[in-house]
Each structure stands twice: as structure tokens, then as C-alpha cells.
Amino acid sequence: MFINFVRGSCMKKSKIYNFLMWIIGFSLAELWRRLLKDIHIHEFFKWLIGLAIIILIFFIINKVISLLTKVKN
């Protein structure tokens, strides 16, 4: 259900929007990997926390965009 929601909302957006989201997600993942390079926790938890942060930022960006769209209308 959650994946269908995310996929449906992304398909409505333009290709430029999707490309920018991909760049932002990749940059955040790379930054997260560099920040946790010397911390000794299991890789799975590093990956899981990074994924949660990326999803949270994705939803925040979508919320800001929807609020800006409401202000324009």
C-alpha cells in the first residue's frame, strides 16, 4: 500500500522532479555513508537509518511543495 502511494505520487510528477529527487537521495546516502564511516555499528542499521532519513526528507519536500501549491491557488 505504501509503495503504491509513493509510486503513484512520483508518476504524477515530471521527469525533472524525479531526477532531482534521485540526485538528492543519492547525495544524502553518500553523505550518510561518509558520516558513519568510523562508527562501529552493523551495516544493516546504517542502511536502515539512512533509508528512514531519505524517506522523511522526501515527505517533507512533498509537504512543502503541496503547501506552496495551496498558497498559489
For position 1, what pLDDT does the model report? 40
Three cell numbers at 48?
A: 536502515
43-72 and 15-35 helices, crossing angle to 10°: 140
The model's pTM: 0.51
Residue ranges per domain, the chain? 2-72
pLDDT digits (tens, 9 = 90+) for 28-62: 777 877 887 777 878 788 778 878 887 888 888 88
